Amino acid sequence: MTMAELVIHPEKISDLRQLPRYCPFGAIVIENGQPAITAACKMCRLCVRKGPSGVFELRESIEQPIDLSGWNGIAVYVEHEQGAIHPVTLELLGKAGELAKVSPQPIYCLFIGQGIRDAADKLLSYNVDNIFVYEHPELEHFRIEPYSAAFADFIAAIRPSIVLVGGTTVGRALAPRLAARFRTGLTADCTSLEIQPDGALAQIRPAFGGNIMAHIITPKRRPQFATVRYKIFPMPLPEVTQRGEITVCPLKPEWFNSAIDVVEIMPKPRVKGIEDAEVIIAAGRAIKKPEDLEMLRELAGLLNGELAATRPLIEAGMVEPQRQIGLSGRTVKPKLLITCGISGAIQFVAGMRGSETIMSINIDPEANIFKIAHYCLVGDLYKIVPALIERIKKSKDNRQFLAAVEKCHHEQL
């Protein structure tokens, strides 16, 4: 039984040669003078919406109602290494809380590992109803088969409607395995999640290279799996009161059968070039002395970023050549670039125009850099940068940060 198919009505075609143009994936072909749809079709339905009237039709048969009512709750997989919880887990719990406000249902955590009870206790402060703990020495290191077995046990027993997994290397290996085991859908790297009152999850992610956004649904299967990268959702604040509980789950020895032996856990080499940095502080000609770079280094450190510079500072020997941005240096695409005292010569701009957010500090309101920057900070960098550093440092441990976070929450809600 076919539930949906694309049908072409040849009698409504006025110009056969034009038809392939309506498909961004080249799935519409002309074979022996007849139009046909190939396996390249992604069912994006653009041909139905944008094609010549009546030529493309999406035929959907009446679907049998399916029982989704047995699935309830939002589960967050706890990403951790040796009990150190990855912050993406808290971000997902924050989102789960928002979703549960619209479609009331319990929030669960799934915590698999060894020596994780203390960490589980701490998680109770994050608006969770029940933390399901699978703890065993065999689960000390991530191995796909035992972790999948415990995860599958949790899904089969609890039947959550939604499963959120951090888009880390482990999460992205684990989530698809489970989605396949339950023959259900998984949407990777969602940038936005919304929920209908009936619990249907709207998963938004960039598609086809990021120039188009796709709204993806999992209409007929459960759970609805989604992975989300770190720092996509805001970090929630811990609650003063804990209402949830911890459930220690029994394990079965056959889960530990694995073809994988972990030999060694090694530190990650921390060689990070400016090309890989998510945050870059770029210094320009307005920096006069090597010691003035210190405040920019400090700012970079506070934002977990890297220092970079324009050519004049490289030539003056103030900054290493591998930190040069521009045509004769490196091309960078950080999430945030803060330029400090850079006028914005074409050669420099060529190396940074792909940056996601560009904040530029320059004393000259006519500076070329302000034609590129998203945020134009007109003023003296020797005043703005120290004032900014001071605020960031304060925020690390005082309420001002919490207030700012809260303000940002309200704006987003």
Partner 1 sequence: MRQIMKIAVCIKQVPATTKVEVDPKTGILKREGIDSKLNPYDLYALETALRIKAALAGTSITVFTMGPPQSEEIIREAYMMGVDDGFILSDGAFAGSDVLATSWTLAQGILETGPFDLIICGKQSTDGDTAQVGSELAEFLNIPHLCNVLHITELDQNSLTVEMDLPLHRQRAIVRLPALLAVEKGIYEPRLPSFLKQKATADRPVRRLKLSDLPDQDKNHYGLDGSATQVARIFPPETNQVRVTWDGPEDETAQKAFELLVKGKFLQQTR
Name which of residues 187 to 246 contact partner 1 (CB under 8 A).
187-189, 202-203, 206-221, 231, 234-235
Closest CA to 284 of 205, 363, 197, 204: 363
| Interactions with partner 1, residue window 393-412 (CB under 8 A) | 395, 401, 404-405, 407-408, 411
How far is it, in rounded angstroms, from Cα 48 to Cα 56? 5
**Do 289 and 261 touch, CB atoms closer than 8 A?**
no
Q: How far is the CB of 191 from partner 1 (least distance, A)?
A: 9
Q: How far is the CB of 360 from partner 1 (least distance, A)?
A: 10
Under the criterion CB under 8 A, does residue 65 sit at the interface with partner 1?
no
Number of residues in contact with partner 1 under rule CB under 8 A:
122
| Interactions with partner 1, residue window 264-283 (CB under 8 A) | 264-268, 279
Long-range CB pairs of 168-175, under 8 A, 24+ apart, other chains included:
168/79, 168/86, 168/88, 168/230, 170/79, 170/142, 171/77, 171/79, 171/88, 171/227, 172/227, 173/144, 174/77, 174/144, 174/147, 174/148, 175/77, 175/225, 175/227
Closer residue to partner 1 in complex, CB, 72/395: 395
- Phi and psi (nearest 5°) for 282? -105, 130
Q: How far is the CB of 230 from partner 1 (least distance, A)?
A: 9
| Interactions with partner 1, residue window 99-138 (CB under 8 A) | none
How far is it, in rounded angstroms, from Cα 126 to Cα 242? 8
Q: Which of 48, 97, 103, 141 binds partner 1 (CB under 8 A)?
A: 141
Q: How far is the CB of 231 from partner 1 (least distance, A)?
A: 5
- The one-letter amino acid code at 178 reads L
| Interactions with partner 1, residue window 293-322 (CB under 8 A) | 303-304
| Interactions with partner 1, residue window 321-360 (CB under 8 A) | 335-336, 356-357, 359
Q: Which of 6, 246, 249, 350 binds partner 1 (CB under 8 A)?
A: 6
Under the criterion CB under 8 A, does residue 48 sit at the interface with partner 1?
no
> What radius of gyration, in Å, describes the C-alpha atoms of the chain?
26
| Interactions with partner 1, residue window 365-394 (CB under 8 A) | 365, 370, 373-380, 383-385, 387-388, 390-392
- The one-letter amino acid code at 337 reads L
- The one-letter amino acid code at 383 reads K
How far is it, in rounded angstroms, from Cα 93 to Cα 77? 9
Closer residue to partner 1 in complex, CB, 150/314: 150
| Interactions with partner 1, residue window 149-168 (CB under 8 A) | 168
- Within 8 A by CB and 6+ apart from 355, the residues are 280, 332, 333, 334, 335, 336, 337
Q: How far is the CB of 26 from partner 1 (least distance, A)?
A: 7
Mode of pairing for the β-strands spanning 186-187 and 224-228: parallel
How far is it, in rounded angstroms, from Cα 91 to Cα 102? 18
Task: Point out which span in 14-22, 112-120, 128-136, 239-247 binds partner 1 (CB under 8 A).
Answer: 14-22
How far is it, in rounded angstroms, from Cα 282 to Cα 326? 11
Closer residue to partner 1 in complex, CB, 125/168: 168
Under the criterion CB under 8 A, does residue 10 sit at the interface with partner 1?
no
Under the criterion CB under 8 A, does residue 13 sit at the interface with partner 1?
no
Under the criterion CB under 8 A, does residue 30 sit at the interface with partner 1?
no
Q: How far is the CB of 134 from partner 1 (least distance, A)?
A: 19
